[in-house]
Amino acid sequence: MPSSSKQHLQTAVCIVGNGAIAKTAALAFAQAGQSVTLLGPPPAPQGSGPEASWDVRVYALNHTAHEHLTALKVWGAMDQARIAPVDAMVIKGDGEQPGNLNFDSYGAHTDKLAWIVEDRNLNQALDAALRFAQNVHIVSGRAVKLAADDAGASVQLDDGSMVKAALVVGADGAQSWVRGQCDIGLDYKPYRHQGVVSNFECELPHHGAAFQWFTCDRGIVALLPLPGNRVSLVWSAPDMLADTLCREGAQALADRLAEFAAEKLGKLTPVQPELVRAFPLTLMRPHSLVAPRVALIGDAAHVVHPLAGHGMNLGFGDVRDLLEAITGREEHRSIGDERVLARYGRSRREEVLLMQATTDGLQRLFGANLEPVRAVRNFGLNLLDKMPVVKRRLMSQALGRH
C-alpha cells in the first residue's frame, strides 16, 4: 500500500512517475524478479463501469502494447466493454480533389489494427495489478534530489525519506524532473497547435473505423471509434482555433465536425456537453535516454505529434527494450551498469527517431497552405493507396511488429 512516512528504502529499481508507463514498468520489472519502488502520488479514486462518463483522454494501443499488457495480466483486467478495436483507418487530404488512403486489418494480415482504450480504464487495471504485485513498494512523495555514483543511485524526498537503487527510471512525463536532475539537454519545438478532445454519439455506425482529415489551415481532425455508436475526437488545431473550439463548447464543435463526418457518421451529439479539453502539442527530443544509473522512458524520453497516435506505444516499446537490455546483461553487470543502459539507448534510437521524423514531417507537409504542395500530397496519398506492399510495411511498423 502507498506510504508517506519517513523511510530509508533499498531497492533494485526506483521508478519515478505515476502514469500508465511508470506503472507498466513497475509490473514488468517485478515480474522479472527485480524489487521495485514506485515513487509518485497515490492514484485518485475514479468511477468505473458502463454508467461512468467516457474519458476524453484515449490511446490507440498497438500490438506491442497489447502483448505487454496481456503478459502482465492487465489487459484482461480492463473493462472490455469500454475497449473499441480498430478494424480500418480512413485518411483524407484536402482541397477540391482530396487524396485518399485506406488501411484495414485484412490488408495488414492481422485481426485488429489497434485498440482504443480510455486512460482511466487502463490506469484502474494497472492500479489493481499493482495492489497484488510482489516486490513492488509504492511510495507517495515529492522527489527533491537525485544522486548517482558507481555504487548506485539515491532519490531523496521532501519529507527526508531516501530511496537507494541500482537503477532509477524516469517515467515522469514531458516535464521530467529526473531528466532535469541529470542535466540531459533537450531539443524543444512547439507546434503552436493544441489537441482538442471530446466525445460524441454518432448517428451512423462507425464499423470500427478511425477517420482522419488533413487540412492545411485548420489542422488535423481525427475521430476514433469508441464502443457503441460513439467516437472520440482529437483535433490538432492551431492555437487560435483551438481556443475558439474550447470556448464555443461541445455542441458548436459537433456542428463544425459535420463538414467532415456527416457523410460517414451522420449527426454527432456531444456525450458530455460541458466537456471539451485541450493540451499543447510539442516535439521534444532529449539528447540522451540514459545517464549514470538512470534511464528515461515514456514522455520523459520523447514527445511526438499525436497525428499517428503512437506516443503511448513508444512508451511501451521503451519498457520492452529496457527490460530486454537488463535481463540480457552479463551476470557480472549491475542493472544500472553504463554498458547495459547504453544498449537500451541504442535499441530505442531507430524507432523513436523514425516516429519523430514521420510525425514532424507529416505535420509540416500538411500544414503548408500552397496549392502546388496540396496537389503533391494528395497525389502521394492516392499513389500510396495503390501500393499494397508499401502499405503493409507501414502498417507493420505501426502495429509494433519489426
- Average pLDDT for 52-58: 87
Banded pLDDT at 7 (limits 50, 70, 90): confident
Query: Which residues sit opposite 360 in a β-bridge?
Result: none
CA 356 to chain centroid, in Å, comes to 13
* Residue 379 confidence (pLDDT): 52
Instruction: Give dist(CA 353, CA 161) in Å, integer.
Output: 38
Q: Which residue has the higher pLDDT, 100 or 221?
A: 221
Look at 24-28, 221-225, 293-297, 379-383 and tell me which has the smallest mean pLDDT: 379-383
Banded pLDDT at 353 (limits 50, 70, 90): confident
Give the mean pLDDT of the chain: 86
pTM: 0.87
- Average pLDDT for 341-353: 91
Instruction: Give dist(CA 268, CA 7) in Å, integer.
Output: 53
Banded pLDDT at 19 (limits 50, 70, 90): very high
Judged against a pLDDT cut of 60, whether residue 31 lies above it is answered with yes
Q: Which residue has the higher pLDDT, 131 or 109?
A: 131
* Residue 59 confidence (pLDDT): 94
* Residue 49 confidence (pLDDT): 45
Per-residue pLDDT tens digits for 239-249: 999 999 999 99
Place of cell 485506406: 102
Among candidate residues 27, 18, 17, 24, the one with its CA nearest the CA of residue 318: 24
Look at 73-77, 150-154, 371-375 and tell me which has the smallest mean pLDDT: 371-375
* Residue 310 confidence (pLDDT): 72
Half-sphere exposure (CA, 13 Å, Cβ side) for 130? 28
Q: Which residue has the higher pLDDT, 380 or 250?
A: 250
Instruction: Give dist(CA 116, CA 121) in Å, integer.
Output: 11
* Residue 273 confidence (pLDDT): 77
Banded pLDDT at 48 (limits 50, 70, 90): very low
* Residue 308 confidence (pLDDT): 60
Among candidate residues 79, 58, 78, 64, the one with its CA nearest the CA of residue 110: 64
Q: Is there a contact between 143 and 15 (Cβ–Cβ < 8 Å)?
A: no
- Average pLDDT for 195-224: 92
| DSSP string for residues in 323-358 | HHHHHTS-TTS-TT-HHHHHHHHHHHHHHHHHHHHH
Q: Is there a contact between 163 and 13 (Cβ–Cβ < 8 Å)?
A: no
Instruction: Give dist(CA 316, CA 22) in Å, integer.
Output: 10
Instruction: Give dist(CA 13, CA 397) in Å, integer.
Output: 30
- Average pLDDT for 76-83: 96
* Residue 299 confidence (pLDDT): 95
* Residue 216 confidence (pLDDT): 75
Read off the C-alpha cell for 277.
Answer: 479539453
Judged against a pLDDT cut of 60, whether residue 2 lies above it is answered with no
Judged against a pLDDT cut of 80, whether residue 363 lies above it is answered with no
Instruction: Give dist(CA 321, CA 318) in Å, integer.
Output: 5
Q: Is there a contact between 128 and 73 (Cβ–Cβ < 8 Å)?
A: no
